[in-house]
Amino acid sequence: MFSSTKLNELLNKIDKQQKQINEMRPLPPNMAKQLRQYYRVSFTYTSNALEGNSLTETETKIVLEDGITIGGKPLNDHYEAAGHSDAYDYIYKLLKTKEITEKNIKYLHKLFYNRVNKNCAGCYRRCEVIITGSDQKLPKPEKISGLMSKFAGNIKNLEKENHPVVYAAKLHKELVYIHPFTDGNGRVSRLLMNLALMQHNYLIAIIPPILRSEYIQAIRRAEHDENDFIKLVAQCVKETQNDYLRMLS
C-alpha cells in the first residue's frame, strides 16, 4: 500500500512542477493550439484503448484530424473517437465556470455516446449492469438518480477538503462506483477527472493502456483504501507534466 506520507511527497513534487509550468504561461496562441490538439489525440486514444477500442494513436489522429475512416476497424470505434473528442472540447467550455454540475456530467456522456447510441446518450441506465471480470455490485437502476444528485451535491465539499489532484481522483472513483450509464462510465469518469484538474490549472492525467491492469486493480481496492488509486492518478499527472516540459524545453 502507498502511504499517506509518500502521497504527500508526490503531490509536493507535482505542485513544484506545476508552478514551473504556470510561470511559462500564457503560451503563444499557436503553441497553445498545438498542445491542445496533441492532448486531444493522446487522451482520446488512451481513454478509449483502456476500454478495448482498437484504434491506434496514429489512427485516432487520422480520424480526428482528417475525418478518414480506418479500413478494417469497427465503425463504433470511430464513433467513440469522435464523441470523446467532442466531450474534450466541452471541457474547455467549462473551465471558466469553475464548477461541475450533474447536468455537466450527463452532457459529457451525451457528447461521447451520441453517435454510438443516441437513445442512451446522456441518460441514466434503466437496467442492471455488471463489470466484466469483477464481482463488484453496482447500484440498482432505481437508485441512480438519487445517488447522482447526492454525488453532485457533494462535489464542492470534495473540492474544498482535498488537494486538486486528490479531488479529481475522488471524483473519478465515485462516479465509477455509481456507474450511472449503460456504457461509457470509465471514459466519462476520466473526462470528469481531467475537467477538475484543468479547472484548477493542472495538466490532465493520461492513463496509458499499458497500465490498464494496475488501473483496474487500484479502482477495485479504492472501495477500502483510496491511496493506491490516487497515487496512480498523481503519477499520471506528473508524467504529463514531464512530457509538457520536455516539449517546451
Look over the chain and give the mean of its residue pLDDT values, rounded to a whole number. Answer: 96
pLDDT of residue 176 exceeding 80, the answer is yes
pLDDT of residue 131 exceeding 90, the answer is no
| Residue 77: pLDDT band with limits 50, 70, 90 | very high
pLDDT of residue 184 exceeding 70, the answer is yes
pLDDT of residue 134: 65
| Residue 3: pLDDT band with limits 50, 70, 90 | confident
pLDDT of residue 213: 97
Instruction: Identify each DSSP E strand in 16-101 by its residue range.
Output: none
CATH superfamily of 4-248: Fido-like domain (1.10.3290.10)
Task: Note if the bond before 26 is cis, omega within 30 degrees.
Answer: yes
Positions annotated as catalytic residues are 179
Q: What are phi and psi of 204, to 5 degrees?
A: -75, 160
Mean pLDDT value across residues 58-64: 98
CA 151 – CA 176 distance, rounded (Å): 11
pLDDT of residue 2 exceeding 70, the answer is no
pLDDT of residue 167 exceeding 70, the answer is yes
| Residue 133: pLDDT band with limits 50, 70, 90 | low
pLDDT of residue 137: 85
In the chain, % of residues over pLDDT 90: 92
Cell of 171: 471524483
Mean pLDDT value across residues 232-242: 98
| Residue 136: pLDDT band with limits 50, 70, 90 | confident
Instruction: Give CA separation, 138 vs 21, 73, 142, 159, 184, in Å.
Output: 40, 31, 12, 25, 15
